[in-house]
Structure 1
Amino acid sequence: MYFPDAQFSTEAITPIENNFPGNYRLQPRDIISVKVKTLDLESSEYFNIETGRGFNNFNPASIYLSGYSLDDKGNINLPEVGLVNVNGLTIVEAQNRIQESLSKYLNKATILVKLVSFRITVLGEVRNPGQYFVYNDQITLLEGLGMAGDLTEFGNRENVTLIRQSNQKLGGIRLNLRDENLLSSKFYYLQPNDVLYVQPLKVKNTRSNLSTLNIVSIIVGSVSTALAIFFTIRNLN
């Protein structure tokens, strides 16, 4: 069960005061898509990096090839413009800064910026562990676990580790899916490159040990039976 003690009304939505961390701010090694729209098609094509033939042919490699990677200082390198620093900016702020930089070269250009490296990794006791790309500006913890098929019967809902990198520092925190206060926590919302690891229950380790002992017992029993039959037959002869 999730949040078993939550005091929710059965007649109306119960408000939850959530400590929303705000819009994500770009960091080094993020990848953003920059699309330039102008009346001059040739100019637009010059600034746009295109690979493949559309969304249906999407694959993780195309993200790197068709996007702009932030270097260690948070710069992207635009044609003609050169380095533009977007470190620590929201997507909207980065879009405005790039728009300002390109306005020197293009008149009446519309700039569209998207974060295309928003991915999370879900490991441990979930039905479908792996890496998942998020096609939205935000995702919650429950949505992330839902993408991985939810926890298995051996998943410890009181011990889910969130590993997060921010400002080039790595940190972790333990989350309790049975605690309703998680819904109002800033960690309820995931960020790009977050890793969720669902710890196994102790009962699984116990069952695994018992299964191993059972297999050993069966092997030993089979060998003993075979030896007993062998010596019985030899004595009869």
Structure 2
Amino acid sequence: MISFFRLSFLSLGLLIVGLSGCVVQNKLPYLQGGNYSTTQPSEVQNARPVYLLQPGDVLSIKVQSVQPALSDIFNVQGPQVITSGDPGVLYLTGYSVDDTGMITLPTIGKLKMAGLSVEDAQTLVRTKVGAYVRDANVLVKLLSFKITVLGEVRQPGRYFIYNPQATVLEALGLAGDLTEFGNRQNVKLIRQTAKGSEVVLLNLTDPKLLQSPYYYLLPNDALYVEPMKARTDRGNANNLSLLFAGISAIVLLISYITLKRN
């Protein structure tokens, strides 16, 4: 009888600890709110920011014309990113913006890129190249748009963005979304600035996220999803289950020995 009560107490304790590691449903959905409709879309005003180039960026500059002998001198020769599948070749096929904000083009020399948008940089390069190549078509792309996603996501890591813009939700999608233990109300966005690093907290469950100026990511941004307390509780529950299993085995063994002696 004593053994039965002991086992029941241990089982009850294990059940309580296990329940403490459960995740509450209302903490999981993104963009919670009662203003959504199946018939009328909810419009959110949030202008996309214009990214200004800075030192460390890598640009792809392609020049095409009816005079390929002249235009090809501006095209860096190297393995193609699409065929190689290795983002590391970006630094071999692009023009890096140096610490002074400059790039160096063949024949033309140094051009100031820092502080310009990609579109403005394209216009500047087209103007300079036009002095040497007649009717040149110039295409400038930002190659070094990469972000990092860490913490309670299914596939943490560094990801390259092959579009001019990226959002927080797109970044989390690249990382396979949050796990059930990811804290959706306290996601840290770490952004590099000229003065250093800045950290802002994002609440994925709040529909106002779509209006936040931090909804759109910038190159070299990092997202960190911290674990919920349920993650620790679940780990402790697993450890305690092993402990309770061991205690239960000992109690059963003692009960068996006691019965044999009687």
Q: TM-score, normalised by structure 2?
A: 0.79
One-letter code aligned to 1:182: L
The answer on 1:158 being equivalent to 2:185 is yes
Larger displacement relative to structure 2 (9-18 or 45-54): 45-54
Distance 1:165 1:53, change over 3 A: closer
CA distance in 2, matches of 1:15, 1:66: 41
Name the structure 2 match of 1:4.
32
The one-character-per-residue Cα deviations of 1:133-168 (angstroms, maximum 9, x if unpaired) are 111110111111111111101011001100111235
Name the structure 2 match of 1:193.
220
CA distance in 2, matches of 1:79, 1:168: 33
CA contact (8 A) 1:122 1:129 kept: yes
CA distance in 2, matches of 1:54, 1:131: 17
CA distance in 1, matches of 2:237, 2:85: 45
Name the structure 2 match of 1:206.
233
**Structure 1 position 53, deviation (Å):** 4.7
Show structure 1 runs of 5+ residues with no match. 233-237
CA contact (8 A) 2:53 2:113 kept: yes
CA contact (8 A) 2:67 2:133 kept: no
Equivalent residue for 1:139, pick from 135, 142, 166: 166
Aligned length in residues: 226
Larger displacement relative to structure 2 (192-201 or 50-59): 50-59
Name the structure 1 match of 2:194.
167
The answer on 1:93 being equivalent to 2:120 is yes
The one-character-per-residue Cα deviations of 1:3-31 (angstroms, maximum 9, x if unpaired) are 2225122211121122x252211111011
CA distance in 1, matches of 2:195, 2:119: 22
One-letter code aligned to 1:61: G
Name the structure 1 match of 2:24.
none
Distance 1:129 1:54, change over 3 A: closer
CA contact (8 A) 2:81 2:89 kept: no
CA distance in 2, matches of 1:123, 1:54: 25
Higher relative contact order (CA 8 A, sep 6+): 2
CA distance in 2, matches of 1:111, 1:168: 33
**Structure 1 position 218, deviation (Å):** 5.5
One-letter code aligned to 1:164: R
**Structure 1 position 221, deviation (Å):** 7.8
The answer on 1:73 being equivalent to 2:111 is no
Q: SS at 2:214's partner residue?
A: helix
Show structure 2 runs of 5+ residues with no match. 1-28, 258-262
Name the structure 2 match of 1:49.
76
Q: TM-score, normalised by structure 1?
A: 0.87
CA contact (8 A) 2:101 2:112 kept: yes
Name the structure 1 match of 2:146.
119
Larger displacement relative to structure 2 (72-81 or 211-220): 211-220
Q: SS at 1:187's partner residue?
A: coil
Distance 1:6 1:166, change over 3 A: farther
CA contact (8 A) 1:27 1:167 kept: no
The answer on 1:15 being equivalent to 2:43 is yes
One-letter code aligned to 1:82: G
The one-character-per-residue Cα deviations of 1:106-132 (angstroms, maximum 9, x if unpaired) are 222111100011111111111111111
**Structure 1 position 58, deviation (Å):** 3.1
CA distance in 2, matches of 1:154, 1:44: 54
RMSD (Å), alpha carbons: 2.1
Name the structure 2 match of 1:235.
none
CA distance in 2, matches of 1:178, 1:215: 35
Distance 1:6 1:92, change over 3 A: farther
In our comparison, the structure showing a higher alpha carbon Rg is 2
Name the structure 1 match of 2:13.
none
CA contact (8 A) 1:6 1:180 kept: no
The one-character-per-residue Cα deviations of 1:42-63 (angstroms, maximum 9, x if unpaired) are 2222110021256222311210
CA contact (8 A) 2:149 2:156 kept: yes
Name the structure 1 match of 2:134.
107
**Structure 1 position 94, deviation (Å):** 0.5
CA distance in 2, matches of 1:181, 1:6: 13
